[in-house]
Amino acid sequence: MSAASVYDLSGAVRGELELPDAVFGAVPHLAVMHQALLRQLANARQGTHDTRTRSEVAGGGRKPYRQKGTGRARQGSIRAPHYAGGGTVFGPTPRSYRQEMPRKQRRLALRSALSAKAGADEIRILDPIELEAPRTRAVAGFLRSVEAPRRVLLVLASHHEALELSARNLPEVRVTMAGNLSVRDLLTAELVVMTRDAVDHVAEAWA
């Protein structure tokens, strides 16, 4: 069974928390994690790119010159693709990049990502949260105490206004709710800081 160190907001060690094997002790499935990451990146694309074809560009309503007798190649419109200002051939048009993935595979990908973080000792537990008012200095001091690397993911079970406002001024910290946890967030973070109730929420949801 994996374990993570428990810290208070001052950075003092409060002990260790045993992480449930059902979620944090699985063997990471790299292929499913990769598929889940690609799906999330694809679904984040807007797909609003667009180029105009020769039927959509302005101008070119008449034949530029007569068909024969000029010594030049015959042309029907100055908005043909080989003219400057002409339409684009096979250019991108609006489309959806959405990908689907079975629910069981999505859950497996999340368990794999959490297990990979636990196996690499990249999970810390924050308990209790003794913060009544927003104070960015307190969160920055906590990150220094736990020797946090550059990219930190802070996972909460429910909204905590003081903590969220304190962390949003730190560009290296991303705050998310346990119910919104994603493979992309986990894989891009170098350290995952979870509250104790967030661990319970994750274990209950994905065990």
Q: The whole model's pTM is what? A: 0.82
Express as a percent the part of the chain with pLDDT over 90.
80
User: Are residues 200 and 123 part of one domain?
Assistant: yes
Buried b (16+ CB within 10 A) or exposed e, 99-129: eeeeeebbbbbbbbbbbbbbeeebbbbbbee
Locate the DSSP E strands across 30-169: 123-126, 152-156
User: Are residues 128 and 180 part of one domain?
Assistant: yes
Is 207 a residue whose pLDDT tops 80? no
User: Are residues 177 and 78 part of one domain?
Assistant: no
Question: What pLDDT digit, counting tens, does each position of 3-15 carry?
Answer: 899 998 888 998 9
User: pLDDT value at position 6?
Assistant: 93
Give the C-alpha separation, 194 to 23, whole Å: 14
CA atoms within 13 A on the CB side of 190: 9
Q: How many domains does the chain have?
A: 2
User: pLDDT value at position 11?
Assistant: 86
User: Are residues 111 and 65 part of one domain?
Assistant: no
Express as a percent the part of the chain with pLDDT over 70.
100
Cis peptide preceding 128, ω within 30 of 0 = yes
**Mean pLDDT, the chain, whole residue set:** 93
CATH number of the domain residue 16 falls in? 3.40.1370.10
User: Are residues 114 and 57 part of one domain?
Assistant: no
User: pLDDT value at position 60?
Assistant: 86
Last residue of a domain, one of 64, 96, 128: 96
User: Are residues 149 and 63 part of one domain?
Assistant: no
User: Are residues 188 and 104 part of one domain?
Assistant: yes
Burial of 71 (0-12, 13-18, 19+ CB in 10 A): exposed
User: Are residues 104 and 90 part of one domain?
Assistant: no
Q: Which domain holds residue 17?
A: 3-45+99-206
Residue 131 pLDDT class (50, 70, 90 cuts): confident
User: Are residues 105 and 145 part of one domain?
Assistant: yes
User: Are residues 55 and 133 part of one domain?
Assistant: no
Is 1 a residue whose pLDDT tops 80? no
Question: What pLDDT digit, counting tens, does each position of 113-123 carry?
Answer: 999 999 999 99
Q: What is the mean pLDDT of residues 131-156?
A: 91
Question: What pLDDT digit, counting tens, does each position of 41-90 carry?
Answer: 999 999 999 999 999 999 888 999 999 999 999 999 999 999 999 999 99
User: Are residues 15 and 106 part of one domain?
Assistant: yes
User: Are residues 162 and 81 part of one domain?
Assistant: no
